[in-house]
Structure 1
Amino acid sequence: MDYLPDDNSRYKDVDYWNERYKTEQSYDWLGSFCKFQHLLEKHVGKDDSILILGCGNSSMSSDMYIAGYHSITNIDYSSVCISTMSARHSDCPGMTWHEMDVRQLSFPDATFDVVLEKATLDAIMVEEKTPWEVSPQTACFIHKALTEISRCLKPGGRFVSITFANPFFRKRLYARAEYNWSIKKYTYGEGFQYHVYVMTKGEELSPEDAALEKKLLEDTKSPPTVVTATQNEPEEEFLSNIDL
């Protein structure tokens, strides 16, 4: 069955995902857990309390559970997804599933050691025409999500973001002192490389990232520059058409 929507904007439509999850068994954006497990093991402990954003029907949660991560909270805004995945993994004590919006997390402050997302923010940005000038609506969405993520992290906790977006563009979103975290970047993949950003709560931005934030605040009206995507990886359509 072809799950590609007629228009990329539907990737932001919960009705599209509800319908898709009724029949699709599993799909892993940006590769399976084994592809980046070696990186996660450096930053995520087996006893850490973990929140996974936009879990979808990915095998990542169950693969992590099998690998020894047994305190995993999964959220997605698709009720069909949460119902299906909760039933599928009912034999995994310590793993829970909740219907929730990333912009309004219903958890107390400092709840989690780790917040993890894989291509969830990429999907939110699907309609952006250029990474140089994100629309006010999307910028507001991302800011609300990042603010909530920071709020829910414990001191010293890590926000791990797995994405195809290179640091030149993605750090423009993450490098903000108000989120109260530092940023480190890693890559994985053969041929085409994906990016893993690790933000540590309570650490200051590096001088380079602080300078980036300052420059962006001072120069928000710079004219956009056309960037041609070179992505040829067999991902879904929107991952081939934007470079965020």
Structure 2
Amino acid sequence: MSDNMDYLPDDNSRYKDVDYWDERYQTEQCYDWLGRFSKFQHLLEKHVQKEDAILILGCGNSSMSGDLYSAGYHSIINIDYSSVCISTMSARHSDCPGMTWQQMDVRQLSFPDESFDVILEKATLDSIMVEEKSPWEVAPHTACFIHQALTEISRCLKPGGRFVSVTFANPFFRKRLYARTEYNWSIKKYSYGEGFQYFVYVMTKGEELSSEDAALEKKLLEDTKFPSTTIATTQNENEEDFLSNIDLT
């Protein structure tokens, strides 16, 4: 694994720039945001069956897809908006029948409705929101991006399907993004890690929000500034926290 410090962008806004990722993936072999699959495998196994049709969003050059495949999950489609990433990872895993790789934008998933049992993302949404300066504010274009992605995720989930989001964002902030009746899912929260905690949110399609989450949505909707300024996207006010909190082991 390469030293991630070699790939730090000059400005965190570059995490949204596909050219930055294309250049990075040309030389970086593997990088696992929020730790290896083994760190949260015990949580994933409770919600993902070996025969499930799985979509991985923003796969990057993480070892997670290969680790999932080795663990017996063989129906996996990986997407990333970097063509360099997709080309490299497809070649690297050419000996994994049933696992495919496609260049795609998370805001425009080119799959039919109700295509997947599980849609999984690990730090993909975090990277989209990393340049936000405060946990209490998010730029309108970022809020729109996230809403478009979550709408597409919900559309592509089968009834009873699960959207699994692995992130460093704690529930106080991240649930504000996920608790919307229009997404038609319930939310459950889990955590892993020693010292610094990471979180796993499992949204189940077709289940109602809990009374607590429904009340959160109602409160946000009553705020006239919703959604452009009150949806919190990350608990890190310091830009560099996003990278310094990543566990490479």
2:175 counterpart (171, 174, 177): 171
**Alignment gaps of 5+ in structure 2:** none
The one-letter code matched in structure 1 to 2:52 is D
The one-letter code matched in structure 2 to 1:4 is L
1:126 correspondence with 2:130:
yes
Measured after TM superposition, the shift of residue 220 of structure 1 is 4.2
Measured after TM superposition, the shift of residue 238 of structure 1 is 5.4
1:212 correspondence with 2:216:
yes
Structure-2 change in CA distance of 1:241 and 1:135 (3 Å): farther
Instruction: Please give the residue correspondences for 1:135-174 in structure 2 after superposition, counting only pairs within 5 Å.
Output: 135-174=139-178
3-state secondary structure, aligned to 1:81: helix
Match of 2:87 in 1: 83
1:107 correspondence with 2:114:
no
**Alignment gaps of 5+ in structure 1:** none
Measured after TM superposition, the shift of residue 230 of structure 1 is 9.2
Deviation string 1:5-24 (CA, Å, 9 cap, x unpaired) is 11111111000000000000
Retained in 2: the 8 A contact 1:229–1:241?
no
Retained in 1: the 8 A contact 2:86–2:102?
yes
State TM-score, norm by structure 2: 0.91
The one-letter code matched in structure 1 to 2:197 is Q
Q: Percentage identity across aligned positions?
A: 82
The one-letter code matched in structure 1 to 2:145 is F
Measured after TM superposition, the shift of residue 221 of structure 1 is 3.9
1:188 correspondence with 2:220:
no
Retained in 2: the 8 A contact 1:4–1:237?
no
Deviation string 1:3-43 (CA, Å, 9 cap, x unpaired) is 11111111110000000000000000000000000000000
Retained in 1: the 8 A contact 2:134–2:235?
no
Structure-2 change in CA distance of 1:19 and 1:42 (3 Å): same
1:40 correspondence with 2:65:
no
More contact order relative to length (CA 8 Å, sep ≥ 6): 2
1:4 correspondence with 2:8:
yes
3-state secondary structure, aligned to 1:187: strand
1:237 counterpart (237, 240, 243): 240
State TM-score, norm by structure 1: 0.92
Distance between the aligned counterparts of 1:162 and 1:59, measured in 2? 15
1:24 correspondence with 2:28:
yes
1:199 correspondence with 2:199:
no
Structure 1 moving runs of 4+ over 6 Å = 222-225
